[in-house]
Amino acid sequence: EAQVTQNPRYLITVTGKKLTVTCSQNMNHEYMSWYRQDPGLGLRQIYYSMNVEVTDKGDVPEGYKVSRKEKRNFPLILESPSPNQTSLYFCASSDLLAGDPQQYFGPGTRLTVT
């Protein structure tokens, strides 16, 4: 089954404790991205990656890092989480570079930073 998976699905952590949210897709997509969803602000892009070793900032990259060492994986790293990063996070992938812009989203990771 074609899918985007994220782990963990739920996470409660404390300020300053480094964490990584993993994202993996099995569709051989080159394009992957991360969004956060907040009440009243909607979904906003954090980072995106056009291909392996190619990443770029979205609209709200502050406080986040990403890496793309393999095509299938695109982890989101919070080196020193703060309460304002409490949010619902979504990873997405698409075959954009092959001309198919439809984006497939993961199930989301609900993060709470206390």
Partner 1 sequence: KQEVTQIPAALSVPEGENLVLNCSFTDSAIYNLQWFRQDPGKGLTSLLLIQSSQREQTSGRLNASLDKSSGRSTLYIAASQPGDSATYLCAVTAGNTGKLIFGQGTTLQVKP
Q: What angle do CA 46, 49, 50 make, to 5 degrees?
A: 140
Binding status of residue 96 toward partner 1 by CB under 8 A? yes
Cα(2)–Cα(26) distance, integer angstroms = 6
Binding status of residue 25 toward partner 1 by CB under 8 A? no
Among the listed ranges 19-27, 40-48, 60-68, 71-79, the one in contact with partner 1 (CB under 8 A) is 40-48
10-13 and 109-113: which strand pairing? parallel
Among the listed ranges 12-20, 67-75, 77-85, 105-113, the one in contact with partner 1 (CB under 8 A) is 105-113
Per CB under 8 A, residues contacting partner 1 are 4, 31, 33, 35, 40, 42-45, 48, 50, 56, 58-59, 90, 92, 94, 96, 101-108
